[in-house]
Amino acid sequence: MIEFARYYIQFIRDFFANIGKFFKTIFEAFADLLFNDIGVYLSNLIDASAKFGFGDWLIAILILGINMVFIVFFTLKIYQMLRVYIRFVKTEMDKDELLEEVALLTQKTVELADEKNKILMLKLGGASASSTLTNKEEQPKNAPQVIGPTRFAKLTQVDEAYRNVITSIQMTPEDTVGLPELVNRFINFSASRLNLYYNEKIIRTFFAGMASSKILILEGISGTGKTSLPYAMGKFFGHDSAIISVQPSWRDRAEMIGYLNEFTKKFNETDFLKELYETTYREDLNFIVLDELNLARIEYYFAEFLSIMEMPNESEWKIDVVSDRQPTDPKHFIDGKILVPQNLWFVGTANKDDSTFTITDKVYDRAASIVMNAKAAFVDAPYSENITMSYEYLKTLYDEAWKAHPISPKALDNLGKLDDFIAQKFKITFGNRIMKQIKLFTPIYVGCGGSEYEALDYMVARKILRKFEVLNLPFLQDELSELIVLLDKLFGKNVFKECISFLTDLKKMN
């Protein structure tokens, strides 16, 4: 044990001695390079210069000059690098100090804003309470009590606009029309009053689509009246449609609804949110138009709406706006949520070009899709007035049509056979959601003056055959031909015109 201790002590001494020699050698090398050897360099130059001729001196001056320039350049570069490094370190230190100072100031500002709001609430609350005590008999029972500043400026304006306003719908005998008259009256109104022309099939499809879904998608080439159709509907029913332009930057619901600014404690309200909230006051028919809805991905920014509209209980169609509740929040908020009313439809317009996204099956399966690829011909319509109609009256018309024009058993049986064939050959099925929409759509289309097979033709083409576009069609040419034969066999020769036309186009494209 003693011998190892002696060895280890000697090892430590030798180790540190070697470290000392290492640094000593480095210092001596720098001293020789920069100081001690300079005299030797000069002495050797003087001795050698005794034998220099004119050419030697010329070359010597040139080479020495180049060397001096290199040394000066090298020294300046090192100096600049050191300055840059020192400045960078100093800047980073200053930046950290500034960030800390900004964070401290931000915290102080929020505290001061909260303190100010509390003082205002005390003042306004006290004044309101005093006024209520002294003039209690003079205050109307439904007058809102001002408690403090609200975080929803636009929605509060809506509350003020509808305060003491009677929103119930008073329909006249001229307004109590049936579905066929409703279609004709709209066509005549839009033609005579707005110079907008639509054929009966498009308008039947629109009203039937309203019965089958709260989301309608109008798609087709530009200039066919996709945006003007819901605009004309708003004029026709006496309440302008809200047209919201979808932006390519929309990535989530906050872009469409808005968000709570944690710094100002105010909600950044959007026009969409204001229009949505206003519909909670109304009893007529309302349309919110998402113009060019596929400039962004609708399944992202509209996802919450797509989900809640699948709920069978309509009282659960609530959109979260804020997570907490304050006394100054809008009147129709329910624990920070807005109930999407049944008298509201979302109408999206869609173009297909390089600047747009593909609308996915998740959206198509939940929406009523209407194709508008051609402008309607001029209609020489008589002058027609708009109509005043409540949602309850339209719902009554729909209920009567569902009872009067259910899909015939033969048509349902043929749809079942068609479903089996498509599922076997193309691995695509109708599904419960699509069958439900077909059963809701078809009776209303018939009630509007159309035929049952015309409605089924349209729904099968838009809901089922549209999905064929993603299949490997070059290897399914025989199956497509068999499907055309089956359609003629089940529903009659060339009865399903839209389906056959669509399948024929698919065969040509591949």
Question: How would you classify the pairing of strands 266-269 and 258-261?
Answer: antiparallel
**What stretches of 262-413 adopt beta strand conformation (E)?**
266-269, 286-291, 318-320, 337-339, 344-350, 368-371
Lowest mean pLDDT among 25-34, 228-237, 436-445: 25-34
Residues 270/258, Cβ–Cβ less than 8 Å: yes
Beta strand 242-245 with 286-291 is parallel
The dihedral sign for the CA sequence 209, 210, 216, 222:
positive
- Sign, CA dihedral 106-107-112-115, equals positive
242 alpha-carbon distance from chain centroid? 17
Nearest in space to 309 (alpha carbons), one of 287, 340, 349: 340
Across the strands, what pairs with 244?
Answer: 290
Tens digits of residue pLDDT in 158-194? 999 999 888 888 999 999 999 999 999 999 999 999 9
What is the structure's pLDDT at 442? 97
Lookup: tokens for 354: 């390089």
**Do residues 235 and 196 lie in contact, with contact meaning Cβ atoms separated by under 8 Å?**
no
One-letter amino acid of 228:
S
pLDDT confidence band for 34 (50 / 70 / 90): low
Lowest mean pLDDT among 42-56, 292-306, 469-483: 42-56
Residue pLDDT, tens place only, 434-448 = 999 999 999 999 999
Which residue, chain included where needed, has tokens 């729904």? 459
Per DSSP, 378 falls in state: P
pLDDT of residue 492: 93
CA distance 55 to 61: 10
For residue 250, what are the CA distances in angstroms to 267, 299, 345, 499? Answer: 18, 11, 21, 35
User: Quick one: pLDDT band at residue 49, thresholds 50, 70, 90?
Assistant: confident
pLDDT at 100 over 70: no
Q: Can you tell me the mean pLDDT for 140-154?
A: 63
Contacts of residues 358-363 at CB distance under 8 Å and 24 or more positions apart, as own/partner, are: 358/294, 359/217, 359/219, 359/294, 359/298, 360/299, 361/467, 362/299, 362/306, 363/215, 363/217, 363/298, 363/299, 363/302, 363/306
Average pLDDT over residues 210-236: 93
pLDDT surpassing 80 at residue 195: yes
pTM here is 0.70
| Residue pair 469/424 in contact by the 8 Å Cβ criterion | no
Per CATH, the homologous superfamily of domain 173-371 is P-loop containing nucleotide triphosphate hydrolases (3.40.50.300)
> Once rounded to an integer, what is the mean pLDDT over residues 418-446?
94
CB 360 within 8 A of CB 299: yes
What average pLDDT is seen over the chain? Answer: 86
CA distance 437 to 208: 10
In angstroms, rounded to a whole number, what is the distance separating the alpha carbons of residues 499 and 54? 103
Contact 291, 244 (CB under 8 A): yes
Task: Measure the CA–CA gap between 475 and 465, rounded to whole angstroms.
Answer: 16
Q: What's the pLDDT band for 156 if we cut at 50, 70, 90?
A: very high
Query: Residue with structure tokens 């305060």?
Result: 163
Backbone φ and ψ of 296, nearest 5°: -125, 175
pLDDT tens digit sequence for 296-311: 999 999 999 999 998 9
Share of the chain above pLDDT 90, in %: 58
In whole angstroms, what is the distance from residue 225 CA to residue 483 CA?
A: 33
Mean pLDDT computed over 377-405? 94
CA distances from 235 to 301, 302, 326, 414 (A): 28, 26, 37, 40
pLDDT of residue 342: 95
The amino acid at 171: M
pLDDT band at 231 (very low <50, low <70, confident <90, very high): very high
DSSP state of 259: E
140 pLDDT more than 50: no
Q: Which two tokens stand for residue 318?
A: 């609530």
Q: What letter represents residue 232's amino acid?
A: A
The owner of tokens 């028919």 is: 285
Q: Give the C-alpha separation, 417 to 485, whole Å.
A: 13
Q: Give CA torsion, residues 148, 160, 347, 305, to 10 deg.
A: 30
The first and second tokens of residue 199, run together, are 């054929």
- pLDDT cut 70: percent of the chain above it: 86
Reported as a pLDDT band with limits 50, 70 and 90, residue 88 is: low
Our CA angle for 159, 160, 165, nearest 5°, is 85
